[in-house]
């Protein structure tokens, strides 16, 4: 239950920063940074941050700019 409570604000923060940028590289970088922050906050270790960065980077790269 504690992880679920920590996950909600972290997910909201991650979504607010997800895929900000004009180019694919910028969106991938911001997605990776946001994913790393959320992953570290939820898991509390480096492995969670690395997984979050990988997921966020891929998600940011595949989004389209406006």
14, 4 contact by CB (below 8 A)? no
pLDDT for res 47: 92
DSSP labels for 1-26? -HHHHHHHHHHHHHHHHTT-SSSHHH
Local confidence pLDDT in tens for the 66 residues of the chain:
566 676 677 666 666 655 578 888 888 888 888 889 888 888 888 998 999 899 888 988 888 766
Would you call 27 helix, strand, or coil by DSSP?
helix
**pTM of this prediction?**
0.70
């Amino acid at each position: 239950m504690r992880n679920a409570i920590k996950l909600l604000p972290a997910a909201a923060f991650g979504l607010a920063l997800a895929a900000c940028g004009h180019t694919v590289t910028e969106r991938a970088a911001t997605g990776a940074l946001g994913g790393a922050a959320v992953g570290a906050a939820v898991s509390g270790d480096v492995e969670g941050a690395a997984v979050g960065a990988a997921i966020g980077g891929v998600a940011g790269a595949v989004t389209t700019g406006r």
